[in-house]
Amino acid sequence: MRELSYAEALRECLRQTMAADPSVFMIGEDIGVYGGAFGVSAGLLAEFGEERIIDTPISEAGIAGACIGAALTGMRPVGEIQFMDFVTLSMEQLVLQAAKIRYMFGGKARVPLVLRMPGGSGTGAAAQHSQSLENWFVHVPGLKVVMPSNPYDAKGLLRAAIYDDNPVIFVEHKLLYKTKGHVPEEPYEVPLTKSHVVREGNDLTIVATSIMVQRALHAAEQLAQEDIDVEIIDPRTLKPLDTDPIIASVKKTGRALVVHEAVKIGGFGGEVVSCIAESEAFDYLEAPIRRLAGKDVPIPYNRTLEYHAVPQVEDVVSEAQKLVRGEY
């Protein structure tokens, strides 16, 4: 089977889409000659030129604003924020403008933009370059939020996001860029409306996002040696959230653990817990619904402290054991 890295899958999607559709272009800091902070756009400048691979000054508000204006005039821009942390500088453009325009004009205006951004910790980049802020955008009506966990989904979800007529926040975890997986060569889309059952099981449902899907899979392998059979659900798109597979899974297993890297307070896990508690799955629960998330601290520079600031494989294993053994 043909394998690509996560970064290569994103690049292939961008190359194929731009080659077939002149309305698609990229804009961001250092995406041209430098090839992007994490190399996703490497080589695209030579192929498509400066009019479609646009290097910008250091202005995240400018990047977001340019994307909005281009989208309103019929283009399909793909903006890149060098680190997710700096999307904070474009919040007015995204929250007050991009998210509202289509609704305020009764659907007559479209805002088909994608804003890509690497998030998460694990690279020693410290407190200002390691955050997971996805739930800020989940809270905003009018925005869609996507978090691919593997190369196949990265390529397919990015294409679907580009051809969605709404603004899409596209979050890529830094540690996933070098991970490899099966990626078909032909263009394809993964719907922005379908959660994915990554692994089937009977004893416990784990709902995990982004890199936590991979950690949950490693944990499931260890738990299987103890005869604990884990089912793993990857929402893929945090908004809109497809809850049907989650509810069906919890009804089957009777236990639920939600895992994400962002801090627990105000995090996406709370929304998933509410969806389960408000559904018919609540009557099937045999244990409390648990959340495993980042600690309520800025991400430390020290590698040991950074490691312990967010959930790791051993943390998932420990929480799963407690749930299945009734230790809560």
Please, which residues have CB within 8 angstroms of residue 106's CB and are 6 or more apart in sequence? Answer: none
Question: DSSP letters of 153-168?
Answer: HHHHHHHHHHTSSS-E
The CA distance from 176 to 173, in Å, is: 5
Angle, helices 244-253 vs 268-277, to 10°: value is 60
Q: Which of 12, 29, 129, 172 is catalytic?
A: 129
- Catalytic-residue membership of 218: no
For tokens 């479609």, the residue is 52
- C-beta separation of 3 from 180 below 8 A: yes
Q: Which of 8, 29, 60, 261 is catalytic?
A: 60
The CA distance from 230 to 57, in Å, is: 47
- Catalytic-residue membership of 129: yes
- C-beta separation of 285 from 255 below 8 A: yes
The CA distance from 198 to 290, in Å, is: 20
* Separation in Å, CA 227 to CA 130, 162, 193, 319: 36, 43, 33, 15
User: Which residues belong to the active site?
Assistant: 60, 129
